[in-house]
């Protein structure tokens, strides 16, 4: 997308799981076409690509475990097996034209923000670098394969696809704001972050099953629960849809960042002319 000021936004999404794919669809819908999805696996699907053990199914009824804009009316049953879930996300990637944006078998090992140019530089395990104005993290929360997992109504209460969609919508709205207001960055203030974390940890402490002495994926090295949402989905949606402007700080782009942007837009136009 190019803003009124002629700004071209280059976006890098890390991960081609449900979250990365949903972000890709929403970016395209908002008119952002200059994005790449970097995925360390050889295909899309994230969790459902990596975990293929016999008997793996979805533990949330399938009509809930799907993207609201791509409803599948042909699930084989209420709790479909992994191959069906993988096929669903492969279908989403194909139907919404995301495969052309995907780079497979590349892991992002480092992300460095350059204040002067207002750009990210992502380091890949191949040794290459990818530059972007915005990076969206869709890396999920499971670094390792899970051969067995107890994860059900007592742990989260709903489909993660629902929360993923709210989060992706929020991310794309913030990217749109960067363009509209010609901003270099938008960040949550440290005060808002501390307040949010404090409330969240109190609410998490009140969820009994999470305090039963298990120490699995949802705890960080320090023992804190860092991946779970203790409230209702509707509460999360309200928070994401109506953020308090006072909780964010922003910065306008500097002259240097602007000229860098014009330079890269011109060089990519030249490449298009040559192509």
Ligand X SMILES: Cc1cc2nc3c(=O)[nH]c(=O)nc-3n(C[C@H](O)[C@H](O)[C@H](O)COP(=O)(O)OP(=O)(O)OC[C@H]3O[C@@H](n4cnc5c(N)ncnc54)[C@H](O)[C@@H]3O)c2cc1C
Residues at the contact surface with ligand X, assessed by CB under 6 A: 14-20, 38-41, 46-47, 51, 56, 58-60, 65, 107-108, 138-140, 142, 146, 149, 151, 159-160, 164
Complex with ligand X: residue 140 or 261, whichever CB lies closer: 140
Quote the CA–CA distance of 256 and 91 in Å, as a whole number: 42
Nearest residue (CB) to ligand X, 14 versus 175: 14
Minimum gap (Å) between residue 35 Cβ and ligand X: 14
Closest to ligand X by CB, 39 vs 133, is 39
What is the phi-psi region of residue 236: left when phi exceeds 0, alpha when psi lies from -120 to 50, beta otherwise?
A: alpha
- In whole angstroms, the minimum distance from the beta carbon of 124 to ligand X comes to 8
Q: Which helix (H) or strand (E) holds 83?
A: helix 82-95
Cα Rg for the chain, rounded, in angstroms?
20
Strand pairing report for 119-124 and 129-132: antiparallel
Based on CB atoms, which residue is closest to ligand X, 19 or 24? 19
The residue among 143, 129, 117, 112 whose CA lies nearest residue 36 is: 129
CA dihedral 233, 234, 235, 240 (to 10 degrees): 90
Q: Which of 146, 127, 114 is nearest to 47 (CA)?
A: 146
Find the shortest distance in angstroms from Cβ 107 to ligand X: 4
- What is the spatial distance between Cα 23 and Cα 37, in angstroms, rounded to a whole number? 10
Q: Give residues with Cβ within 8 angstroms of 176, minimum separation 6.
A: 30
Whole-number Å distance between alpha carbons of 237 and 83: 30
Q: Of 215 and 242, which CB lies nearer to ligand X in the complex structure?
A: 215
Residue 274 C-beta: closest distance to ligand X, Å: 30
Minimal distance, residue 1 CB to ligand X, in Å: 23
Which CB atom, from 2 or from 220, has the smaller least distance to ligand X?
A: 220
Least distance to ligand X, CB of residue 120, Å: 14
- What is the nearest approach in angstroms of ligand X to the Cβ of residue 52? 10
Q: Which is nearer to ligand X, 229 or 248 (CB)?
A: 229
Q: What's the token pair of residue 85?
A: 């879930």
Q: Is the separation of the CB atoms in 20 and 46 below 8 Å?
A: yes
């Amino acid at each position: 997308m190019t803003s009124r000021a002629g700004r071209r936004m280059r976006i890098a999404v890390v991960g081609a799981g449900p979250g990365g794919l949903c972000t890709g669809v929403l970016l395209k819908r908002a008119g952002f076409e200059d994005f790449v999805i970097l995925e360390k696996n050889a295909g899309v699907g994230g969790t459902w690509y990596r975990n293929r053990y016999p008997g793996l199914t979805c533990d949330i009824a399938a009509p809930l475990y799907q993207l609201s804009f791509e409803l599948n009316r042909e699930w084989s049953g209420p709790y479909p097996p992994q191959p069906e879930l993988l096929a669903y996300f492969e279908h989403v990637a194909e139907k919404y034209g995301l495969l052309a944006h995907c780079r497979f078998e590349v892991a992002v090992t480092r992300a460095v923000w350059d204040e002067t140019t207002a750009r990210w530089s992502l380091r890949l395990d191949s040794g290459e670098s990818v530059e972007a104005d915005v990076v969206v993290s869709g890396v999920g929360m499971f670094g390792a394969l899970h051969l067995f997992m107890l994860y059900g109504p007592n742990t989260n209460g709903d489909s993660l696809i629902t929360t993923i969609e709210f989060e992706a919508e929020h991310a794309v709205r913030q990217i749109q704001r960067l363009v509209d207001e010609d901003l270099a960055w938008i960040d949550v203030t440290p005060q808002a972050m501390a307040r949010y974390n404090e409330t969240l940890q109190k609410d998490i402490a009140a969820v009994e099953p999470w305090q039963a002495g298990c120490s699995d994926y949802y705890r960080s090295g320090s023992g804190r629960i860092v991946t779970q949402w203790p409230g209702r989905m509707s509460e999360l949606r309200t928070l994401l849809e109506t953020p308090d402007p006072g909780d964010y700080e922003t910065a306008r782009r500097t002259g240097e960042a602007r000229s860098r942007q014009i330079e890269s837009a011109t060089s990519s136009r030249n490449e298009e002319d040559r192509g």
